[in-house]
Amino acid sequence: MRLHLIRHPKPLIEAGICYGRHDCPAEDTASAAAMLLAELPAGLPLWSSPLRRCRDLAELLHPQPVIDNRLAEMNFGAWEARRWNDIPRVELDAWAADIAGYAPPGGESPRQLQRRALDFVASLDVPEAVIVTHAGVIRTLLAHWQGLPPERWTELNFAYGSCTRVDVPR
């Protein structure tokens, strides 16, 4: 199965804010959509995260995007919409010590995010699809398919509004 994994455009949020599930719009979705439409194959089914920064783009790319909660960004719980500098250092250190397994208070771990994203992909029954989602979702999926250990997950970076193509074995 071929997947076109699209990261949403840059969020309209102040720099330095933890914004995983925080529902904010994105910058210039129309320009991102025009660029992506020029490179995507026509007529593919499209799924999107429910968060506005993805959903707004998805609606410009497809007349009937399917919204799926499993494509939402990581739930940062008590860290959501807080400045990274205001998050207790001990919590950030605990996350750094267990990058895949640590869950912020009231949130989810990257490993939990990965499980729900993989569950979503396993539910697809199409030869090719477009998915509008977040860096965390794309990162954990590619890390799984590439067999990367958690300490290397942060090496996978994706530009805002970019499309990463991947062939997923069935």
Mark 35-63 as b/e (b = at least 16 C-beta within 10 Å). ebeeebeeebebbbbebbbbbbbbbbbbe
Tell me what the mean pLDDT of segment 145-164 comes to: 95
Please report which residue ranges of the chain form alpha helices under DSSP H.
Answer: 29-39, 52-61, 89-97, 110-123, 135-146
pLDDT digits (tens, 9 = 90+) for 95-113: 999 999 999 999 999 999 9
**Does 2-167 carry CATH code 3.40.50.1240?**
yes
Q: Residue 110 in contact with residue 74, Cβ under 8 Å?
A: yes
pTM: 0.95
How confident is residue 40, by pLDDT bands cut at 50, 70 and 90?
very high
Over 80: is that where the pLDDT of 126 sits? Answer: yes
What token pair was written down for 150? 């958690």
Is residue 23 within 8 A of residue 52, CB to CB? The reply is: yes
Confidence of residue 88 (pLDDT cuts 50, 70, 90): very high
Instruction: Give the C-alpha separation, 18 to 125, whole Å.
Output: 34
Domain boundaries, the chain: 2-167
User: CA nearest 2: which of 41, 55, 49?
Assistant: 41
What pLDDT does 52 receive? 97
